[in-house]
Amino acid sequence: MKIMEPKRALFQILSSSLVVLFLSLSCQHVDIKDRSAKTNKEELCLVGMGPGDSDLATFRAMDIVQEANLIICSKSLKERFSNVLNSKEVVSPPDGVWIWHGYGKKGSDFQGKELEKFRASEKAREQIIIKVRQAINEEKTVAILDHADPLIYGPWSWILEEFEDISPTVVPGLSSFNAANAALKKGVTSGRLTKSVILTMPDLPEMSKKDTIEKLARHQATMVIFMPTVRNTKLKDLVAKLTTHYSPQTPIALVACAGYQEKERVIRGTLENIVNKLGDQSLPFEHLIYVGDFLTHEMRLEKGE
Ligand SMILES: C[S@@+](CC[C@H](N)C(=O)[O-])C[C@H]1O[C@@H](n2cnc3c(N)ncnc32)[C@H](O)[C@@H]1O
C-alpha cells in the first residue's frame, strides 16, 4: 500500500472539500431554477398574496404571478400589485358582486333581494369559469389571486371544487391574522390560562348555531373575530355576546390595516371600556378583533402561578 506524504494528503482533502462545496452551491442554484420550472406546469393556481403592503407576498406567489398568462383578481389587488399586473391580462369580477355568494346553491334557495344578489354572483362566476376553461384549453396558465391567506374566509376557495378535474394548486399566503399578531407584539397562544386560539366571525342568521360567539366564549381561549362589521354588526353587540363568558376586564384589541406600514392601527381596551374608547371612530372593513388575556399577559410573571 502506498502511503501519501502529509502535504499531498492535505491538498487532496482540501480539494475534495472544495468540490463538495461547489456541488452543494450548484445544487442550490438548480433548486432555484426548479422553482420557476415548476411554476410553468401549474395550469390553475389559487395564490395568497399576503395581507398588506406588496412586500408581504411570498417569492413563490410572485413567481406564479410572473409566469401566469391570465390573472383573475379583485380590482383592489390589481391596484396593489400594479407594477407586475399592468402588463398582464387581468380579469376582475364586477364591483359589488360577492363572487362566492351561493356557490353550490340554486335560485330556489333564495328570495327577494337575496335572490338578486345570488343571480349577480352566479353570473359573474359563470363568466370567470368560462374564461378559465378557455385559457386552460389554449394551454395557458391561470392564477387566481386572493388577499392574504386564500383559505381563511377566502372568497375564492370555491374554485378548488369547481376546477377539481384539473387539480388546481394553492400557494399559501400570510393571513391578516399573522400580520395583526405582529402588530400586537404578543404570543397569541401564550395566554395566562389558554394555549389555544379560535378564529371566528359574527353570527349570521343563515349560519350554524353550533359555534355562536357566546358558545365559543365559554372556552376562554384567545378569540380572533374576522369581518367584525359584516352586515352592520355593531361592536357593542359583539361585546355583549363576549361578556356572557369573558369577564368585563378581559383585554380586547382592534387591529386595523394590519401589514400596511403607513395605515396600521391598534386600539386597546377591555370588554367594559372598548365601546367608549372607539367612540365615533369608524374602522375600515380590514380590521380584526382580538380578545383574551394574552394581550396583557407577561410570561416573566408566570413563575408563581
Ligand atoms: C373575507 S375575510 C378574508 C380574510 C383573509 N383571507 C385573511 O387571511 O386575512 C376579510 C376580513 O379579514 C380581515 N382582514 C383582511 N385584511 C386585513 C388587514 N390587512 N388588517 C386587518 N384585518 C384584515 C378583516 O376582518 C376583513 O373583514
**Which ligand 1 atom is nearest residue 259's CA?**
19
Q: Quickly state the pLDDT bin for 299 (edges 50, 70, 90).
A: confident
Whether 46 is in a domain gets the answer yes
- The DSSP string of 163-206 is TGGG--EEE----HHHHHHHHHTS-TT--SS---EEEE----TT
Tell me what percent of the residues of the chain surpass a pLDDT of 90: 81
Whether 184 is in a domain gets the answer yes
- Does residue 182 share a domain with residue 170? no
Residue of the CA atom closest to atom 24 of ligand 1: 286
**pLDDT score of 9 more than 60:** no
Among residues 174, 192, 207, which one ends one of the domains?
174
- Does residue 62 share a domain with residue 159? yes
Among residues 158, 174, 190, which one ends one of the domains?
174
Residues with CB under 6 A from ligand 1: 51-52, 147-149, 152-155, 175-177, 179-180, 226-227, 255, 257-259, 285-288
Whether 218 is in a domain gets the answer yes
Residue with cell 389555544: 196
- Does residue 145 share a domain with residue 80? yes
Q: To 10 degrees, the CA torsion angle through 232, 237, 241, 246? A: 120
Q: What separation in Å is there between the alpha carbon of 154 and the centre of ligand 1?
A: 9
- Does residue 136 share a domain with residue 53? yes
Per-residue pLDDT averaged across 31-58, rounded?
76
pLDDT digit string, tens, across residues 99-129 = 999 999 999 999 999 999 999 999 999 999 9
- CB–CB of 232/157 below 8 Å? no
Q: What separation in Å is there between the alpha carbon of 297 and the centre of ligand 1?
A: 25
- Does residue 224 share a domain with residue 207? yes
Whether 13 is in a domain gets the answer no
- State the chain's mean pLDDT as an integer: 89
- Does residue 56 share a domain with residue 157? yes
Whether 269 is in a domain gets the answer yes
- CB–CB of 176/258 below 8 Å? yes
Instruction: Report in angstroms the alpha-carbon separations of 300 from 75, 150, 184, 213, 296.
Output: 46, 36, 18, 31, 12
Whole-number pLDDT of residue 303: 58
CA neighbours closer than 13 Å in the CB half-sphere of residue 189 = 4
Per-residue pLDDT averaged across 2-13, rounded?
54
Q: To 10 degrees, the CA torsion angle through 238, 242, 243, 244? A: 110
Q: What is the CA radius of gyration of the chain?
A: 25
Q: Quickly state the pLDDT bin for 30 (edges 50, 70, 90).
A: very low
Whether 2 is in a domain gets the answer no
**pLDDT score of 25 more than 90:** no
Distance of alpha carbon 305 from alpha carbon 302, whole angstroms: 6
Q: What separation in Å is there between the alpha carbon of 226 and the centre of ligand 1?
A: 6
**Which ligand 1 atom is nearest residue 229's CA?**
27
pLDDT digit string, tens, across residues 58-113 = 999 999 999 999 999 999 999 999 999 999 999 999 999 999 999 999 999 999 99
Q: What separation in Å is there between the alpha carbon of 255 and the centre of ligand 1?
A: 10
pLDDT digit string, tens, across residues 166-190 = 999 999 999 999 999 999 999 999 9
What's 109's DSSP letter? Answer: G
Q: Which residues constitute the domain of residue 116?
A: 41-174
Whether 11 is in a domain gets the answer no
**Which ligand 1 atom is nearest residue 260's CA?**
19
CA neighbours closer than 13 Å in the CB half-sphere of residue 100 = 14
- Does residue 223 share a domain with residue 126? no
- Does residue 59 share a domain with residue 47? yes
Q: Which sign does the torsion angle of CA 108, 114, 120, 125 carry?
A: negative
pLDDT digit string, tens, across residues 282-297 = 999 999 999 999 999 9
Q: What separation in Å is there between the alpha carbon of 128 and the centre of ligand 1?
A: 23
Number of domains forming the structure of the chain: 2
**CB neighbourhood size of 215 (10 A):** 14
- Does residue 162 share a domain with residue 196? no
- CB–CB of 290/207 below 8 Å? no
- Does residue 296 share a domain with residue 186? yes
Among residues 154, 174, 194, which one ends one of the domains?
174
pLDDT digit string, tens, across residues 202-255 = 998 888 789 999 999 999 999 999 999 999 999 999 999 999 999 999 999 999
Distance of alpha carbon 202 from alpha carbon 208, whole angstroms: 11
Residue with cell 377539481: 164
CATH code for the domain in which residue 183 is found: 3.30.950.10
Whether 227 is in a domain gets the answer yes
pTM summary value: 0.86
- Does residue 250 share a domain with residue 157? no
- Lookup: cell for 191: 395566554
CATH code for the domain in which residue 89 is found: 3.40.1010.10
- CB–CB of 99/128 below 8 Å? yes
Distance of alpha carbon 293 from alpha carbon 295, whole angstroms: 5
**pLDDT score of 35 more than 50:** no
- Does residue 168 share a domain with residue 46? yes
**pLDDT score of 28 more than 50:** no
Per-residue pLDDT averaged across 260-269, rounded?
98
- CB–CB of 132/142 below 8 Å? yes
φ/ψ (deg, to 5) at 287? -145, 155
